[in-house]
Amino acid sequence: MSEAELRKYEAELRKCETQLLKEWAEFLQELDPDIITGYNIVNFDLPYLLNRAKALKVDLFPYLGRVRDSRTTMRDSTFDSRAYGKRVNKIISIEGRIQFDLFQILLRDTKLRSYTLNSVSYHFLGEQKEDVHHSIITDLQNGNEQTRRRLAVYCVKDAVLPIRLLDKLMCLINYMEMARVTGVPLAYVLSRGQQIKVVSQLLRKAREKDLLMPVHKSEAQEEYAGATVIEPSRGYYNIPIATLDFSSLYPSIMQAHNLCYTTLLFKSTDRERLTPDQYIRTPSGSHFVKSSVRKGLLPEILEDLLSARKKAKAELKEEKDSFRRKVLDGRQLALKLSANSVYGFTGANVGKLPCIEISQSVTSFGRQMIDQSKNLVERKYCVANGYPFDAKVIYGDTDSVMVRFGVGTVAESMELGREAAEMISATFPHPIKLEFEKVYFPYLLINKKRFDTPILPYF
């Protein structure tokens, strides 16, 4: 190609590209989608398109949203959260449409070795991308109808795979549920942390009660005692070991004792106006009014989150398909995390509304409960009470106890585990519930098991 021919060819190409961008933007407006999805669209495809449109001066391109005359803009942001780490993201304004980027969803919700579209498609769908290396794309485009067809199939497949994945992983359903329960926009569930969800729920409940949420300047806060870990009796147990674990421990403590900003008695003079049966003193020495005087906002918020979790768990129980079971389990775990974050929110060092009296009271109740559970099991199931053995709690962490009852079969251990859980639950106020979890047989106890995420604050 001569110099002149090359220039003419390039000009032609630019014209095509300009046309393509213009028509794509028009197509988008005509289709008017609520949700835009794809794989890494927020940090790659959309910025690429916006930058090309700018370079080619396609002035009508960056109007992708639903607000007329509002230009789509782009900027960098760093997102930092304890649970998800630090990330630099593009923020692109497309009003009225949600950018639901499957790549971001997978980064957030899964732990995979590779996050290429090819690899995640294979992992979840057993399907792969059309194999076209980027170095041959120009040749395929410049070739003939057949090579261009191959290119087109490659593009379509790239667009279809994310949609199939979204569907299979039930992302839309699960994210919408979280948005609905917590009252944040759908996009926040993807792009923001746990705090905003708690704030949103607090504001929602506060408004119903004609209350306002104070502005809090964040400042370093004092530390407080966390959970109990019972020293493990290390060893190899060739005998059944039953585990009992409190269901939603921290949330259920806050519900049972009506712990909230709105129920805390700050000053000792507050108590003088009340009768002793109208308030409680927590093991860490704070005072809260009972729900008969005023029901707290936090317990109400927790009720909503936990009833959604209960529903997810019930669905999980019915589901036969192993893949869908995993998805439903992820859903109930996300709701569990949100519920526990309400406690984390009150204890967060740099939070929007920390309240150490609440967080301290929660962990102090927790510690007391685990001690009480251990004592109740060991005191009841013993030779002195006519049992052929002395039960022993060989380990416990935060809200669980592992019990060696002394019986030889799994069935007996399960039976006693259930009975003990019921007996202990009955000693605590509603909705606190110790549950029989499972029996290990045999069991090797070497080290303390710790949570993946730091126990405090829980974000």
Q: Which residues bind ligand TTP (CB under 6 A)?
A: 245-250, 336, 340, 398-399, 451, 453, 455, 458
The one segment of 42-50, 179-187, 239-247, 251-259 that binds Mn ion by CB under 5 A: 239-247
Residue 241 CB burial class (10 angstroms; 0-12, 13-18, ≥19): buried
- Contact between residue 217 and residue 223 where contact means Cβ atoms under 8 Å apart: no
Residue whose CB is less far from ligand TTP, 376 or 455: 455
Q: Which is nearer to ligand TTP, 98 or 253 (CB)?
A: 253
**CA 250 vs CA 197, 306, 362: distances in Å:** 17, 12, 6
- 3-state SS class at 129: coil
* Residue 336 interacting partner from Mn ion, ligand TTP, none (CB closer than 5 to 8 Å by kind): ligand TTP
Q: Is 313 in the site for Mn ion (CB under 5 A)?
A: no
| Closest approach of ligand TTP to the CB of residue 224, in Å | 13
8 A C-beta contact, residue 388 and residue 306: no
DSSP 22-39: HHHHHHHHHH--SEEEES
- Please say whether the beta carbons of 283 and 406 come within 8 A: no
CB hemisphere CA count around 321 (13 angstroms): 7
Select from Mn ion, ligand TTP, none the partner in contact with residue 346, using the beta carbon and a kind-dependent cut-off of 5 to 8 Å: none
- Which of ligand TTP, Mn ion, none sits in contact with 363, Cβ below 5 to 8 A by type? none
Taking the complex as a whole, how short is the minimal distance between the CB of residue 366 and Mn ion, in angstroms?
10
Cα(222)–Cα(145) distance, rounded to whole angstroms? 70
- Whose Cβ is closer to Mn ion: residue 103's or residue 246's? 246
Which of Mn ion, ligand TTP, none interacts with 332 (beta carbon under 5 to 8 A by kind)?
Answer: none
Quote helix, strand, coil % in the chain, to nearest 5. Answer: 50, 15, 35
Among 72, 400, 413, 425, binds Mn ion (CB under 5 A): 400
Q: What is the 3-state secondary structure (H, E, C) of 250-306?
A: HHHHHHHCCCCCCCECCCHHHHHCCCHHHEEECCCCCEEECCCCCCCHHHHHHHHHH
Task: Tell me whether residue 418 is exposed, middle or buried, using C-beta atoms within 10 angstroms of its C-beta: 0 to 12, 13 to 18, 19 or more.
Answer: middle
Site membership for Mn ion, residue 246 (CB under 5 A): yes
Task: Tally Cβ neighbours within 10 Å of residue 100.
Answer: 23
Rank residues 172 and 455 by Cβ distance to ligand TTP and give the closer one.
455
Q: Could you give the maximum distance between any two Cα atoms of the chain, in Å?
A: 103
Q: Among ligand TTP, Mn ion, none, what does residue 455 contact (CB within 5–8 Å per kind)?
A: ligand TTP
Q: Give least dist CB 222 to ligand TTP, A.
A: 18
- The nearest distance, CB 332 to ligand TTP, in angstroms, is 8
Closest alpha carbon to 393 in 246, 247, 245, 243: 243
Q: Does 399 bind Mn ion (CB under 5 A)?
A: yes
Q: Which residue, chain included where needed, has tokens 């806050």? A: 254
Query: How far apart, in whole angstroms, are the C-alpha atoms of residue 336 and residue 76?
Result: 31
Report which DSSP code applies to 232: P
Shortest gap between Cβ of 237 and ligand TTP (angstroms)? 21
Q: Considering CB distances under 5 to 8 angstroms, the limit depending on partner class, which of Mn ion, ligand TTP, none binds residue 453?
A: ligand TTP
Rounded to the nearest whole angstrom, what is the least distance from the CB of residue 374 to Mn ion in the complex? 14
Of residues 357 and 399, the one with the C-beta less far from ligand TTP:
399
Partner from ligand TTP, Mn ion, none contacting 433, C-beta within 5 to 8 A by type:
none
In the bound state with Mn ion, the residue whose beta carbon lies nearer, of 246 and 343, is 246
Q: How many CB atoms lie within 10 A of CB 322?
A: 7
Select the residue interacting with Mn ion from 101, 245, 304, 357 (CB under 5 A).
Answer: 245
CB of 159 to Mn ion, least distance (A): 42
Q: How far is the CB of 459 from ligand TTP (least distance, A)?
A: 10
**In angstroms, what is the minimal distance from the CB of 433 to ligand TTP?**
9
Position 252 contacts Mn ion (CB under 5 A): no
At CA 52, angle to CA 51 and CA 55, rounded to 5?
90
Choose the one of ligand TTP, Mn ion, none that binds residue 288, judging by a C-beta under 5 to 8 angstroms depending on kind. none
Cβ(48)–Cβ(109) below 8 Å: no
CB-nearer residue toward ligand TTP: 255 or 340: 340
For residues 323 and 451, which CB has a smaller minimum distance to Mn ion in the complex?
451
Minimum CB separation from Mn ion for residue 55, in Å?
Answer: 55
What are the residues binding Mn ion (CB under 5 A)?
245-246, 249, 399-400
